[in-house]
Amino acid sequence: MLLALGWSHELCAQDTSLAPARQSPPDSVYVNNIFIIGNEKTQKNIILRELDFASGYYYDWDTFLEILQADQNKIYNLRLFTSVEITPLFTEDDQVEILIRVKERWYIIPSIIFQLADRNFSEWWTNQNRDLSRVNYGLRVSHGNVGGRNEKLRFSGQLGFTRALDLRYSKPYIDKNQKHGLATQITFFEQKTLAIRSADNRQVFFTNETEDILRKSLTAAVQYTYRRTFYNFHFLTLGYSSNTVDEDVLTENPNYFVHGENSLRYLYMSYTFRHDNRDLAAYATKGELLQATATKYGIFNTDDIDEIEVSITANKYLPINDKFHFATGLTANWFLSPNQPYTLVRGVGYNPNFIRGYELNVIEGQQLYVHKNSFRWKFLDWAIDISNIMPLEQFSTIPFRFYLSANFDHGYVKDRNQLPENARLTNQYLYGYGLGIDLVGFYDAVFRLEYSLNNSGQGNLFLNIKAPF
């Protein structure tokens, strides 16, 4: 992603046919027209929606440069393009034409599902002894830009450790002013091996002798989105969840659903406010993210469940220079009642809440607080041009960015029930620290290799996918 300026402080002494010969930039510029090239499938209005400027207006020059950089990031974060370039071209001393050049991604992507069923790679490698039966496999088909309107369609069919079907469709804008959107999702899965509780801060799995299906789950939801400004989003979700377990599960854990029955059905509603002003959503180095969510489980009929959950995430990304940045993020989560169905269990060790060094553990409770910190150095940034062997432009360049990170996470999980089998790590201050190498690669994929130690004196090498926060 590159911001290409036809005029800048460094280039102000140059004389080109599009930039008048001046020794200093103008105080303000007038935007004549906006041109977009490269959007063969994406509709123009999807890109224009992200712009904080318009033709026919004057803008302070220094402020205008900041607007162009921010708009370029917003367009890239649509995840429709592999590159975005915004160029102001001077036609007169104080007048510009804006050229937006994009390179589109490949939108229809069939992919093979081959992934571990466990919480992370280290859980599978160490706690589950690299058991290949704990692998999910199947087929996923995604369309990332239906009709060129940034609509997302995804279907997944999965076998293996967890058999599942998933269908999701989202339309970001259903109105002319591009503020209101809708999404819907339906998911079904069944399991023969099930985590039924935790002991010594590790998950305890159960499979009965006849290898029957132990749990069936169906979830359907519709979500309304409202985006009034560029960086602020509102989400209102109404959903239905139905879960049924085999009687053997209740024999092993009578409180699996809390109310003692083998089925749990309920409506739920959640509201989320999200302020997202990050430069790159996949691996941010500048900006901030604030998200607050309140969820009510059990609406109208509350016999099965009557619960409220509140969570807050606040992340800040502070650039120091082009090579170094600091990232810090705070997460808090609360349940209002002391007991929840095990299907709603929360704590450190469940995505996205973790403390580095405790990847092998689950620390369950009704309240959690996690503060994550990383100081990062970008020591390698390059791209491989394979256009001579790859005819598709969307895959002709393979980018790589490597970061060395120094990490320190700490937090606390409160278990109101004071379960003795998990008392080693609950209700006490926890921390972990270490070093890692982060790779940000093709289509914003992130891989992290980290060595971390915790305050229990344990150290290990951990492999993770996606940015930590």
More confident residue, 258 or 157: 157
Percentage of the chain exceeding pLDDT 90 = 74
State how far the alpha carbon of 180 is from the alpha carbons of 40, 171, 229, 233, in Å. Answer: 25, 9, 11, 10
Supply angle C-alpha 56, 229, 270, rounded to 5: 160
State how far the alpha carbon of 185 is from the alpha carbons of 132, 156, 192, 303, in Å. Answer: 30, 12, 24, 25
CB atoms within 10 A of CB 70: 19
Q: Which of 317, 277, 360 is nearest to 467 (CA)?
A: 317
Q: Which pLDDT belongs to residue 13?
A: 32
Indicate the pLDDT class of residue 23, thresholds 50, 70 and 90.
low
Q: Is the peptide bond before 352 cis (omega within 30 degrees of 0)?
A: yes
Residue 282: both structure tokens together: 């996949």
pTM for the structure as a whole: 0.86
Q: Which of 342, 277, 362 is nearest to 316 (CA)?
A: 277
Indicate the pLDDT class of residue 122, thresholds 50, 70 and 90.
confident
d(CA 54, CA 61): 14
Tens digit of each residue's pLDDT (9 = 90 or more) over 258-311:
888 999 999 999 999 999 999 999 999 999 999 999 999 999 888 889 999 999
d(CA 102, CA 82): 8
For the chain, list the domains and their CATH numbers: 2-104 (3.10.20.310), 108-360 (2.40.160.50)
Supply angle C-alpha 383, 387, 391, rounded to 5: 140
Q: Which pLDDT belongs to residue 117?
A: 83
Per DSSP, what are the bridge partners of residue 60?
A: 28
Mean pLDDT, residues 318-347: 94
Residue 76: both structure tokens together: 């890239």
CB atoms within 10 A of CB 452: 23
For residue 36, pLDDT over 50 is answered with: yes
| DSSP strands (E only) in 246-387 | 263-278, 287-297, 307-319, 324-335, 346-348, 363-365, 367-385
Q: Which of 151, 20, 142, 18 is nearest to 78 (CA)?
A: 151
Tell how far CA 34 is from the center of its chain. Answer: 31
Indicate the pLDDT class of residue 2, thresholds 50, 70 and 90.
very low
d(CA 235, CA 227): 9
Q: Are strands 397-414 and 367-385 parallel, antiparallel or unpaired?
A: antiparallel
Q: In which residue are the tokens 């302070």 written?
A: 60
* Strand, helix or coil for residue 72: helix
Mean pLDDT, residues 53-73: 95
Tens digit of each residue's pLDDT (9 = 90 or more) over 170-189:
999 999 999 999 999 999 99
* Cβ atoms of 236 and 216 closer than 8 Å: no
Q: Which pLDDT belongs to residue 132?
A: 83
Q: In which residue are the tokens 């580095």 written?
A: 356
Residue 455: both structure tokens together: 């305050």
Mean pLDDT, residues 123-144: 87
DSSP character at residue 106: P
Residue 254: both structure tokens together: 């009578």
For residue 119, pLDDT over 70 is answered with: yes
For residue 222, pLDDT over 70 is answered with: yes
